Amino acid sequence: MLGQLDDSAAFDEVTWRERRRKKPYWRNLHDWAQENLRIEDFEPLYSNIGRPSVCPVHTFLATLIQLEKGYSDREMEEASECDERVKYALLVKRDLAGIDAVTLCRHRSLLFANDYGRKLLVRTVSQAIELGIFSPGSRAVVDSFMVWGARAATDTYTLIRKAIRMVLKLGSLCELEQRMRLLLDRSDYDIDGKPEIDWEDAEQKRLLLQSLVDDGVRLAKFAQSEGMPDDIRSAGELLERISTQDVEICKETGRVELRQGVSRDRVISVADPEMRHGRKTSSLKSDGYKAYIATVGDNAQIIADVVVTPANAADSEPVPEMVDRIEEATGSKPEEIMGDSAYSGEELEEKLAEKQVELVAKIPAPVNKKGLFTKDDFEIEESRGFVMCPAKQYAYFDINRLLNEHKVVRADFRPDVCNNCELESRCTESSKGRTIRVRPHEAKRRAKRRHQKTAEFREKYSRRALTEQRIAHCTRHGGRVSRFVGRAKTEFQELLVAVNRNIQEIMKVRVSLVTPERLLAGT
Q: Distance between CA 289 and CA 485 in Å, rounded?
A: 11
Decide if 233 contacts 220 (C-beta within 8 A): no
Report pLDDT digits (tens) over 384-414.
999 999 999 999 999 999 988 889 999 999 9
pLDDT score of 217 more than 80:
yes
* Average pLDDT of the residues of the chain: 89
- The predicted pLDDT at position 5 comes to 61
User: Residue 405 CB: number of other CB atoms within 10 A?
Assistant: 10
218 phi and psi angles, rounded to 5 deg = -65, -45
DSSP code of residue 475: I
Segment 117-172, tens digit of pLDDT:
999 999 999 999 999 988 888 889 999 999 999 999 999 999 999 999 999 999 99
How far is it, in rounded angstroms, from Cα 67 to Cα 335? 33
Task: Please state, in angstroms and rounded to a whole number, the distance separating the CA atoms of residues 4 and 6.
Answer: 6
Q: What percent of the chain has pLDDT over 90?
A: 67
So what's the pLDDT on residue 52? 76
Query: Does the structure show a pLDDT above 50 at 519?
Result: no
For residue 520, name the pLDDT band (cuts at 50, 70, 90): very low
What is the identity of the amino acid at 479?
Answer: G
Say what the pLDDT of residue 369 is: 84
Q: What's the rounded mean pLDDT across residues 488-500?
A: 96
Of residues 102, 52, 63, the one with CA closest to residue 86: 63
By 3-state DSSP, what share of the chain in percent is helix, strand and coil, each rounded to 5? 50, 15, 40
pLDDT band at 193 (very low <50, low <70, confident <90, very high): confident
Per-residue pLDDT tens over the stretch 136-148: 888 899 999 999 9
pLDDT of residue 334: 92
The β-bridge partners of 256 are 249
How sure is the predictor about 11, in pLDDT bands with cuts at 50, 70 and 90?
low
Pairing of strands 379-381, 358-361: unpaired
Between CA 66 and CA 478 the distance in angstroms is 8
What's the pTM? 0.88
pLDDT tens, position by position, 312-355: 999 999 999 999 999 999 989 999 999 999 998 888 999 999 99
Using DSSP bridges, classify how beta strands 379-381 and 256-258 pair: parallel, antiparallel or unpaired. Answer: unpaired
Three-state DSSP string of 254-319: CCEEECCCCCCCCCCCCCCCCCEEEECCCCCEEEEEEEEEEEECCCCCEEEEEEEEECCCCCCCCH
**What mean pLDDT do residues 244-255 have?**
89
pLDDT tens for each residue of 437-460: 998 888 888 889 989 989 999 998
